[in-house]
Amino acid sequence: MNSDFDVWAPNADTMRLLADGRELQMSPGQDGWWHVQHAALDGDIDYGYLIDEDTTPVPDPRSRRQPNGVHGLSRTFDPDAYEWHDTGWSPPGLNGGAIYELHVGTFTPEGTLDAAAGKLDYLADLGVQYVELMPVNAFNGTHNWGYDGVLWYAVHEGYGGPHAYQRFVDAAHSRGLGVIQDVVYNHLGPSGNYLPRFGPYLHQDNGNDWGDSVNLDGPLSDTVRQFILENVEMWFRDYHVDGLRLDAVHALRDERALHILEEMAARVDNLAADLGSELFLIAESDLNNPRLITPRNRGGYGLDGQWADDFHHAAHSNLTGENGGYYADFDSLGALAKVLQDGFFHDGSYSSFRQRSHGRPLDKGVHNANQLVVAVQNHDQIGNRAAGDRLTQSLGYEELALAAVLNLTSSFTPMIFMGEEFGASTPWQFFTSHPEQELGRATAEGRLREFARMGWDPSLVPDPQDPQTFQNSKLDWSEAGVGAHARLHRLYRDLLALRRTVPDLREPGFRNIVVEFDEASRWLTVLRGRTTVVLNFADSPCKVPLPLQEPVKVLLETGPAVSRGGAIQLPAYGAAIVSGS
């Protein structure tokens, strides 16, 4: 087999390829590209690049495998060698079906993609529509959240590498589950990032919260953008994923007239047409900027969805009573009601946490509620707490059940964080495994500084470098079938089944939502067509008026609910779903 090797390295004066133990001189081409053609190399090849006078090779920026870690040689990978079995899979697109977010390393004891695939029957039975994997691209060390990745084209070898990833997606599709991959294009991790040696991938004088920004609009940025856009296509073409979650897009610094997100959305739409599939992009953003999900023909970027943290903050504050830091504006049922009706709480209003006005309104004639992905718990909102504690640590069954009804009956696209469905008692903490002691120490010290603004006790913050922090964060699957855990799991299954079968609960239009609440009595109702969700946030029983005509049928209740005379009696922290005429 004659192999061609190409690499973009405009910073280099000379380039050599080290492949299969041979050193080959590379020839310069146009626009900073270097080439070796017809290298007469067979099979899977370990290779790297020698830049200028270096004697130690560095990995390929587009490496598909790193069997010996991010500082080792790259290995070739042929994505077309896999025989797919998902020709019968028809992805539904972003249609309001529930998403299940998981971290491969802590989802199972083994922490691999093949082990996670062994839980797909469980997830299909639960009733979710999509499995969302936190970042899997190659990072330094053995375990990490995934946001310290440095080789965007490689799947972390400890998870099973690219072959295991293909098997996982194929297995998910065979069970009627779609796959969303979380990807990070706004920064690179602190160890193993050799990209600046090759070319101007980064803005070294323009940083964000995690370091240097990616060069999206500076000199030679055309090729950097192509590097990202082709990576986007890779996930869809080579791994058959159905959607991508784009991490922290507010950290993408791009002053071009054609923003990278708009270019990305257009590229994916064209690819979807080419593949005959419903592909989508979801942005993580705290900007409350409707432009992200506004169609391109209306001046927007044309992304399909975005995370909406205002829902989480309002739900969390009303469930727990926390009102410090960024929860300060959300500790009222009025705030929750506004989010349920309008999508954003801060839509131009003053944010006390930011000490300025924030956001702008969604256009209910343009946007639908399914475009907002919401959660009562996710990796950020648990892992970025001082102790990485879940709601389970502070709430009882009744309140956890109330949270589940609020989330899974919303008009938005609901997301569940792994273990939430059975009230996992294990924490989910921030963990790293940087081999460099100085980097590990700096990471731990940085975590302590981050929590100062939230007013959390620094003594509760576990050392992210301690291997036990990682082990503590693994799910304990023995909990799922016992006691209150099993009871909560049944409730999640029942709620997801109702979401699939009751048309009112899948209606995406903002205009068909009517929210009523009583701040003093702590009840809230959400009318959606002929179905009403009734929520009691009080620690005592409550009688709630129903905006429905008799006869009324209770479709689901979290505790004994009695409906008569145009009202329903709920127990403390009780919730019910009722239908009428």
Q: Cα separation of 229 and 261, whole Å?
A: 10
Whether 247 sits among the annotated catalytic residues: the reply is yes
Q: Cα separation of 143 and 147, whole Å?
A: 11
Given 60, 182, 247, 347, the catalytic residue: 247
Task: Identify the CA nearest to 35 among candidates 73, 77, 75, 4.
Answer: 4
3-state DSSP helix/strand/coil percent for the chain, to nearest 5? 35, 20, 45
Given 284, 309, 399, 507, the catalytic residue: 284
> Within 10 A of 40 (CB to CB), how many other CB atoms are there?
10
Contacts of 380 (CB under 8 A, 6+ apart): none
Task: Identify the CA nearest to 373 among candidates 343, 403, 406.
Answer: 343
Identify the helix (H) or strand (E) that includes residue 16: strand 15-19
Q: Cα separation of 359 and 339, whole Å?
A: 13
Task: Identify the CA nearest to 52 among candidates 34, 72, 31, 71.
Answer: 34
Whether 46 sits among the annotated catalytic residues: the reply is no
- CB crowding 562-577: b at 16 or more within 10 Å, else e: ebeeeebbbbbbbbbb
Task: Identify the CA nearest to 134 among candidates 162, 110, 113, 109.
Answer: 113
Residues pairing with 374 in the sheet: 414
In the DSSP assignment, the letter for residue 149 is -
**Helix axis angle, 309-320 relative to 333-342, nearest 10°?**
150
The two three-digit tokens of residue 445, written as one number: 């010290």
Question: What is each CA distance from 58 to 12, 54, 72, 73, 151, in whole angstroms?
Answer: 13, 9, 7, 7, 12
Which residues does the annotation mark as catalytic? Answer: 247, 284
